[in-house]
Amino acid sequence: MQTADIQRRWLEFFGSRGHTVVPSASLVSDDPTLLFTVAGMVPFIPYLTGLVPAPYPRATSVQKCIRTNDIEEVGKTTRHGTFFQMNGNFSFGDYFKEQAVAYAWELLTTPESDGGLGFAEKDLWVTVYDDDDEAAAFWKKTAGLPDERIQRLGKEDNYWHTGQPGPAGPCSEIYFDRGPAYGPDGGPAVDDTRYIEIWNLVFMQYLITDVRSKVDFDIVSELPRKNIDTGMGMERVAFLKQGVENMYEIDQVRPVLDMASRLSGRRYGADHDDDVRMRVIADHVRSSLMLMGDGVSPSNEGRGYILRRLLRRSIRAMRLLGVDAPSFAELFGASRDAMSGAYPEVLHDYDRISRLALGEEEAFLRTLASGTSILDLAVDRTKGEGKQAIPGDTVFQLHDTFGFPIDLTLEMAEEAGLTVDRDAFDRLMADQRARAKADAKSKKRALADLSVYSEFRKHGETVFTGYELLETESTVLGLLRDGVSVDSAATGDIVEVILAETALYPESGGQESDQGRIVGNGFELEVLDVQRPVKGLVSHTVQVSSGEVGVGAPATTLVNPVWRHSAAQAHSATHVIHAALRQVLGPQAHQSGSYNKAGYMRLDFSWNAALSPATRSEIEEISNNAVRDNLEVTTRIMTLDEAKKLGAMALFGEKYGDAVRVVDIGGPWSRELCAGTHVRRSAEIGLINVVSESSVGSANRRIESLVGLEAFQDLATERAIVSQLTSSLKTPREQLPDRIAELVASLKAAERKIAQYEASQLAGRIPALVANARRVGGFTTVLEHVGKVGSSDDLRGLVTSVRERLGGDPAVVALAADVSGKPAVIVATNDAARKSSVKAGALAKRAASVLGGGGGGRDDLAQGGGSDLTAIQSALDAVSAELSA
């Protein structure tokens, strides 16, 4: 049974039983505490918790998920994957335990010929929570399961909650027995390798508080409306139904594994380590394909960092299979073909996905080359010091700064006959994880408990009137101070205001929130921010400018008209520049993010090369021509499917409901899904002045522009600068570039002459320095403060020249100088000194410690520096002391 067939059977089964079929949400989660959608129930959390009223009594979905907390287990077990699909059925206060059990048993055991999944009843076991007699009774009644195949487990295994106060409840899990060849008898309580969990039914029936751990919390009461949340693992069912050994061998994953085998020339099944690597590649390439399909781009933070890690682990695994050449074109092509049946969007958007993947592969292969050079130096240094282990801090720097995988470092160190100080590396990694965890916790704590908004959301959605109006009368539904409801707020207080209606635009879709005021009888509030903390609800963060505001008071929202117009100009300019980009570069230059506010916009787009000045000018000219042509700007509300048929473009990562707003500028020339505010005709944008174009990733660029009055002011400033230059240089404007080029050339020539003069002056000091050589600890030494020097290179040349004049006896030269206001010291040793175990790097490091800085280098030549010019003589004395010891 193919994976797509399992998906079809699932949706048809529950759809025919009154469940609303909900399409999979994006892998990019709406939940601000989550980077990704990590479980099938995540999109339904607001409904399950009662934060937002459920739009339907029961639902079903096949949800795309990403989970990387067990990434090190990928490829080693039968069921750990970073991307997986969770089949779910949900009830929001509708049916409960008995019906959930009945549905699960019916779908699992109905023969395939009748639309079911065709599992044999004898192979199925269940677990229930310790004291959930009710669930156990339903399994007996509905499924006829004997007591020995209904096992009871504790909170660690069979109890669900979010980790926060709120709804919770016991679970019941369904397991498939793979047979005695896979482990001992005794059910899932004994062995979860033989007995594979395929479905988890969560009975959300209690309200809990004071959550101290997964197993330690207080149950307050039963929920007035009990919910059902179930999840069946698509990949687990697929590998069982397809008769293969693990999830990496199912129809949606195996083609990538086979491609890795073909490219490497290594047979799957012949070697355990190679098998793990091929499974890692198959899993990570599929996960990366799906993440990029949902708009995630490789980067050094957040979601982009996770994606980059998956891609780089894939490249590393291919290298360990002996493949050093690029391989993503073939691997991603295989994954595209395997996944497009269930997710046709990866096929339609494959050009963009492919560019991202190939760009990241090319960049990381360069990283591997540079990292290998750094590692080679570390190997030489370790061997030169007579040690066996490469220092942990060096290995950590390779991993953290250069993205060089630790496994690759271990492999290359072993090839060189060395080990790695793994304990030190692991300590540094643990410290980094602890910092990241603390940062994540602090960010999570900073988020308000969203449950406080549920009471307001029950009154319905906040009505946004701002598309047509800049002023709207409303009523204060609630006030929040520090996340807690209050009855009133007085002058100086900063609070959140919940209104029934508002004309103030809440930040979304890349557009910054409106500026404005909220006024009423006896009070005035300055609006600091406007947000949507939960779907359908608008919250205004305000400071009370005067008076006192209370719950229930009439209030009027007043939008700052200048700000709104400028913001609308910027947002419309974003659409115009996007259309111009696609006209010049082609449809593959797709927007991947944007931000706009009054007078300014930036747009990120998929592209892997810098734009030439001519291309940038062409995009700017097309954009301003669109402004000149005074194109009509229209908005329409339609279904998402209708908008897609019209060719309206969506922003990756943005969430859209069934009804969407389509913004046209010049008809189909620019047609995008957008909830932002816009001008009525393109001429109202005023002027578009592209001020920068830069890289924001291996396959992403960013274009920034000033818009309207801000664009004019920037050009006026440039005009004033040009006028000042023409006056100062007494040169016509059109001749300024040539005149400035002449001046730069003259300046460089003068700098060269000065450098030659300074070099000759330094060279003239060599005889005197050599003449001042003295014996220290059996070495001929020159330890001198030479005053001010133009650059460290000049000082280095002086040091090596002096060393060459000292003959063959053991010699050490340490010269210190003032280089651009900072102390610098360079140390050189000759062959005879090094044979006596004197190393320039150690001496430079010692001198630099006195100067208040750091230093080091090779055994023959090294450099140090610091911040304390007054300590130069003390630093040279420290070198002398080291030689005398």
| Backbone region of residue 712 per phi and psi (left: phi > 0; alpha: psi in -120 to 50; beta: other values) | alpha
Spatial neighbors of 846 by CB under 8 A, at least 6 apart, are 878, 879, 882
* CA-based nearest residue to 138, from 89, 103, 97: 97
Tell me the CB-side half-sphere exposure of residue 300, using CA atoms within 13 A: 10
Can you tell me the distance from the alpha carbon of 136 to that of 149, in angstroms, rounded to the nearest whole number?
Answer: 10
Pick from 324, 320, 266, 256: nearest CA to 290? 256
- Return the DSSP state at 853: S
CA distance linking residue 537 with residue 508, whole number of Å: 13
Burial annotation 313-336 (CB, 10 A radius, 16+ → b, else e): bbbbbbbbbebeeebbeebbebbb
- Spatial distance between the Cα atoms of 809 and 770, rounded to a whole number of angstroms: 14
Pairing, β 20-21 against β 58-66: parallel
Residue 678 marked ligand-binding:
yes
Residues 6+ apart with CB under 8 A from 333: 259
Nearest to 627 by CA among 683, 578, 676: 683
Which DSSP string corresponds to 744-763? HHHHHHHHHHHHHHHHHHHH
Q: What is the DSSP letter of 36?
A: B
Tokens of 5: 């067939």
DSSP 352-368: HHHHHHHHHHHHHHHHH
Do the annotations mark residue 272 as ligand-binding?
A: no
Beta strands in 104-217 (DSSP E): 124-129, 150-153, 159-161, 166-177, 195-209
For tokens 């949400």, name the residue: 25
Burial 472-492 (b: 16+ CB within 10 A, else e): bebebbbbbeeeeeeebbeee
Backbone phi, psi, residue 863, to 5°: -135, 145
Beta-carbon contacts of residue 277 (< 8 Å; ≥ 6 apart): 75, 260, 317, 318, 320, 321
171 carries a ligand binding annotation = no
- Rounded Cα–Cα distance for residues 484 and 291 (Å): 37
Which residues are CB-contacts of 214 (< 8 A; sequence separation ≥ 6)? 155, 156, 159, 161, 163
User: Which neighbouring-strand residues pair with 632?
Assistant: 681
Give the residue among 553, 561, 505, 564 at the shortest CA–CA distance from 525.
553
Nearest one of 848, 840, 845 to 874, comparing CA atoms = 848
Closest CA to 801 of 785, 782, 819: 782
Backbone angles phi, psi at 521, to 5 degrees: -65, 105
- Is 600 strand, coil or helix? strand
Alpha helices for 664-735 (secondary structure H): 709-729
Question: Which of 216, 284, 256, 273 lies closest to 80 in space, CA to CA?
Answer: 284
The residue whose two tokens read 């995630």 is 296
Are the beta carbons of 802 and 763 closer than 8 angstroms?
A: no
**Cα angle value 59/162/225 (rounded, 5°):** 50
Token pair belonging to 54:
């459920």
User: What are the beta bridge partners of residue 597?
Assistant: 600
571 is in an annotated binding site: yes
Residues forming beta bridges with residue 84, ordered by sequence position: 65
Is the Cβ–Cβ distance between 479 and 456 less than 8 Å?
no
Annotation: binding site: 571, 575, 674, 678
Binding residues for Zn(2+) are: 571, 575, 674, 678
